[in-house]
Amino acid sequence: MTTKTSILGIDIGGTKILIGEVDMAGRVLRAKSYASNTADQQTVVATLLEALRDYQETVGIDLQTITAAGVGVVGRVDAKNGIWLEIEPGKSDPTPLATILADVLHVPVAIENDVAAATTAEAKLGVGKETSDFIYINVGTGIAAGTMTGGKLITGGHFNAGEIGHMVVDLESEVPCGCGRTGCVERVASGLGLSEQAYAKAADHPDTTLPMQTGERIPADTIFEAAIQADQLAETITHYAAKSLAAMTMNLVRTTDPECVVFGGGVTQNDYFWQLIQSHMQPNTIRFVTKGIVRTSVSSKEVGLIGASFIGQTALAIPIT
């Protein structure tokens, strides 16, 4: 008899879907990435089902070894009932994602918010081995966090905890956010926000070297490299983003008293930007963060997938209907 030894993990982010098989210890056995389309939840589901078909055809899902599936998805999630509630504020479309996938995969499925899933991976494989009180901050396409207090993840009464991208860091800002406020950190310091700021301020910097001609999103690393080369536009938005992330972090530290703050996501993996963020931290404010403000030691590209697999392990008690 074949022993079931792995979990199918699915990480659905703002720009990509990563599908892969992960063993019970969190080691990625094989995986494949797909472009995501987050226009709305039904579009995401259709894109995911097509990606699963391709994965089966090109990589192959070994259903003899897969014991369950776990999904980390952007937005608000009712994990207990397997319902994906909304993809972003104001775009609510409660979707029984766990049931949809269980019907396709014929294994039990559990779902969770993508950053909450990544926080779970951090708890099991990263700083969680040293402390049960930490904040995991993901800075990628958007900005969100997971907070572990006493070893328990804070989810909130409406599954909305951790949406720190909508924390206002500049009361004088006129930069609008989809949440209805202005001055939100996500609009100036996420991967998408950095690019938006470059376009918004380009008219004041006609000599910028940033590739503005295409109208496409400018990668954060391209902006950081231009800042290193003293491009004034890039320097302006990069320094403001770093200062904003530091302010956000210090506010969070005062709120939950973590022993450690961990940054994940592609944007903060840039060394230049990371040092800028650190330079804006006030020692007196972070003095109780005794295990430091650090970058994750878990693979930034796979932490969401690994976290999704750990979420999948919780599905083993869910009967297949």
- Categorize the per-residue pLDDT at 317 as very low, low, confident or very high, splitting at 50, 70 and 90: low
- Tell me what the pLDDT averaged over the chain comes to: 93
Checking if the pLDDT of 80 tops 90, the result is yes
Sorted by where each starts, the structural domains of the chain and their CATH numbers stand as 6-119+302-317 (3.30.420.40), 129-295 (3.30.420.40)
Contacts of 201 (CB under 8 A, 6+ apart): 233, 236, 237
Mean pLDDT, range 88-98, rounded to an integer: 91
Contact, 34 vs 17, CB < 8 A?
yes
pLDDT of res. 54: 95
Q: Calculate what percentage of the chain has a pLDDT beyond 70.
A: 97
Contacts of 318 (CB under 8 A, 6+ apart): 98, 108, 109, 110
Q: Which residue has the higher pLDDT, 160 or 300?
A: 160
Burial (CB < 10 A; 0-12, 13-18, 19+), residue 58, is: exposed
* Minimum mean pLDDT range among 28-32, 118-122, 172-176: 172-176
Kindly state the helix (H) or strand (E) to which residue 92 belongs, with its residue range: strand 92-95
pLDDT of res. 320: 42
pLDDT of res. 272: 98
Checking if the pLDDT of 63 tops 80, the result is no
SS3 121: helix
